[in-house]
Amino acid sequence: MSEIAERLLAGEQRALSRLITLLERGDPAAAEAMKVVDGHTGRAYTVGITGPPGSGKSTIVDQLTQLVRQTGSKVSIIAVDPTSPFTGGAILGDRIRMQRHYLDPGVFIRSVATRGQAGGLPRIVKSMARALDAAGTDLILVETVGVGQTELGIVSVADTVLVTLNPESGDAIQTLKAGVMEIADVYVVNKADRDGANQMASAITGMLHLSAVSPEWSPPVMLTAAHTGQGIEDLWMKIQDHREFLTASGGLENRREARRKREFLEAVEEALAQRLRDKVGNDSDLNNTLEEVARKEIDPYSAALEYLDSSLFSTDWLNSR
Amino acid sequence: MSEIAERLLAGEQRALSRLITLLERGDPAAAEAMKVVDGHTGRAYTVGITGPPGSGKSTIVDQLTQLVRQTGSKVSIIAVDPTSPFTGGAILGDRIRMQRHYLDPGVFIRSVATRGQAGGLPRIVKSMARALDAAGTDLILVETVGVGQTELGIVSVADTVLVTLNPESGDAIQTLKAGVMEIADVYVVNKADRDGANQMASAITGMLHLSAVSPEWSPPVMLTAAHTGQGIEDLWMKIQDHREFLTASGGLENRREARRKREFLEAVEEALAQRLRDKVGNDSDLNNTLEEVARKEIDPYSAALEYLDSSLFSTDWLNSR
């Protein structure tokens, strides 16, 4: 049995940090540990927070953490940094607000960069959440910055998804396009003390009535002013309502099973892609095909289909690790 | 031979539009046409323009188009819309500036959404560029919005990459992190009439001296005020300098061959992933594995590796299309 997993399950905080570092490095020891860790998950509840930049996600995470810590529950925060090489600066500023929790041993905070990932939520976030769960965290808050595909990927880890909106950003209808409505369990109109907050909340409620995404759970629209803490308790109660709804309806189990299946398929896809890349330079058939493509003897797409359907491609190389 | 490809090569504009529509739909007729089209490419030159939102990319594209059209050359513009469901609104406003070219038969404009793509540049952009090339376009301008991984993916289609920067956004050093310096062939500090433009240009030049990414081509830093056209002619001359440098050094051919190889590998990966997804629900071995994962009998990652290495996985299903 994996020693690090054993120490993590015994509640050793350093083992948790160590495992996450191993996960980040893609160390095989991490995969070994995760085999053990996986069986001890399922107790923690995961809340995803997503929304456009400037809508107060970090402040909401900070305030929820403060509130939940008062009950003695352990909280973990996974902050997913944006993929963009152009928008790195602003985000770090937001994170500074969470500093007050850094010295609290009941709060675990980790940032994850999406850089180099193929969009969606970085796979490591799912493994991290699982490790945190097994290590005894009660609540996992995953914050994603709304500048890429990551915000829709939040459903691949969260039990309840909060979508935060900024009344000053204007067009609520524009904001709610493109898949966001499908993933939101609770809307949070933050900066409720600014102009337009009530109108935005009404507009969203109106849209929800028209769309009726889920007949059983109608996503509530909560108003908060996170910098003062206003509305945070109500928001937390609503998150708990959603959890109870999911648990009672069987939806929680369904969501979690579907997520595990999706994660398996993604891991197969990634491993296939990795094995293909490992083959480049080491396989003369593949290299011949690549040279034919480079010389324009065949277009890349047709060449790919022909390669897969030819005898050049076999599972032999897939299995030869 | 593909009829649509034949008509496209004969210069029929409608055939080009039709082929792009077929490509967007993933129609098999598009793949057939691309086999033919591919052999007639290589004449067009592709310039990629990327940079953070608000740095004037669309205005620069607009002005370059205006300038190049005066020489009689045909221009195509591919505008890659952002992946984010939260930032859709602002972009469309930018595009309105390009309206003056819509009635010019020598200008072809098409938008591509990155939605649902796994990050990077949507594959269709490469096929579109190839179709435009074969159809007789001289210059292809590909504009990507700097809010995700797409801005780094621009190298997968562009011969020359412009990185636009906004002096008002502040920290040049922050902006130039994370791979941007590796892809920039020419820097454009736009809004040269605003405060900080010269300082930003100097800061970038200083960083370039320190890094020396390419010993042969030192990326120039150009100042433009695109809304007035200031600096656009110099920028265009610099793009042509880069083209001549690439052509003389053999770098152009190397870049294009490397791009074709990468595109082939990506197409193989995508086809593998698609065939795996097609298998879900239709393959009892795969479904059994998925159920084991859902029931937590094994963690998703280990299950993926075991599945690939087991006899359950064979190329039989890959080949059965």
Q: What is the pLDDT of residue B292?
A: 96
Q: Cα separation of B152 and B180, whole Å?
A: 7
Q: Cα separation of A98 and A80, whole Å?
A: 14
Domain termination site, one of B251, B278, B308: B251
Question: Is A119 close to B120, i.e. CB distance below 8 A?
Answer: yes
Question: Is A260 close to B293, i.e. CB distance below 8 A?
Answer: yes
Please determine, for residue A317, whether its predicted confidence score (pLDDT) is greater than 50: no
Domain match, A315 and A229 both: no
Taking the model in full, what pTM does it have?
0.81
Question: Is B180 close to A120, i.e. CB distance below 8 A?
Answer: no
- Judge whether B94 lies within some domain: yes
CA distance A70 to chain B (A): 33
Listing DSSP states for B198-250 in one string gives HHHHHHHHHHHHHH-S-SS----EEE-BTTTTBTHHHHHHHHHHHHHHHHHHT
Contact call for residues A133 and A23 (beta carbons, < 8 A): no
Domain termination site, one of B211, B228, B251: B251
- Judge whether A133 lies within some domain: yes
- Residue written as tokens 């490790």? A131
Domain match, B236 and B306 both: no
Q: What is the pLDDT of residue B42?
A: 94
Question: Between B34, B296, B321, which is nearest A39 by CB?
Answer: B296
**Interchain contact A206–B (C-beta under 8 A):** no
Contact residues, B window 98-137, toward A, CB-based 8 Å cutoff = 115, 117-120, 127, 130
CA contacts within 13 A on the Cβ side of A256: 21
**Interchain contact A240–B (C-beta under 8 A):** no
Domain match, B154 and B206 both: yes
Q: What is the pLDDT of residue B99?
A: 72
Domain match, A67 and A180 both: yes
- Judge whether B256 lies within some domain: no
Residue B260's identity, in one-letter code, is R
- Judge whether A255 lies within some domain: no
Domain match, A29 and A66 both: no
- Judge whether A256 lies within some domain: no
Domain match, B143 and B7 both: no
* CATH number, domain containing residue B168: 3.40.50.300
**Interchain contact A286–B (C-beta under 8 A):** no
The C-alpha angle B237, B238, B242, rounded to 5 degrees, equals 120
Domain match, B9 and B141 both: no
**Interchain contact A173–B (C-beta under 8 A):** no
Domain match, A57 and A94 both: yes
Q: How many domains does one find in chain A? A: 3
Residues of B with CB below 8 A from A272's CB? 269, 272-273, 276, 308
Q: For A232-276, what is each residue's pLDDT tens digit?
A: 999 999 999 999 999 999 999 999 999 999 999 988 988 888 888
Residues of A with CB below 8 A from B84's CB? 52, 146-149, 151
Q: What is the pLDDT of residue B320?
A: 38
Domain match, A52 and A137 both: yes
What residues contact residue A301 under an 8 Å CB cut-off, 6+ apart?
Answer: B31, B34, B127, B263, B264, B267
Domain match, B315 and B239 both: no
Please determine, for residue B146, whether its predicted confidence score (pLDDT) is greater than 50: yes
* Residue A290 tokens, joined: 């690549």
Average pLDDT of every residue of chain B: 84
- Judge whether A254 lies within some domain: no
Q: For A71-117, what is each residue's pLDDT tens digit?
A: 999 999 998 876 555 544 334 444 555 677 878 889 998 888 765 44
Whole-complex ipTM: 0.83
Q: For B77-126, what is each residue's pLDDT tens digit?
A: 998 876 555 544 334 444 555 677 878 889 998 888 765 444 567 888 99
Q: What is the pLDDT of residue B257?
A: 95
Q: What is the pLDDT of residue A320?
A: 38
Domain match, A159 and A299 both: no
- Judge whether B160 lies within some domain: yes
Q: How many CB pairs under 8 A join A and B?
A: 243
Question: Is A118 close to B115, i.e. CB distance below 8 A?
Answer: no
**Which domain, by its residues, includes A190?**
42-249
- Judge whether B76 lies within some domain: yes
Domain match, B267 and B233 both: no
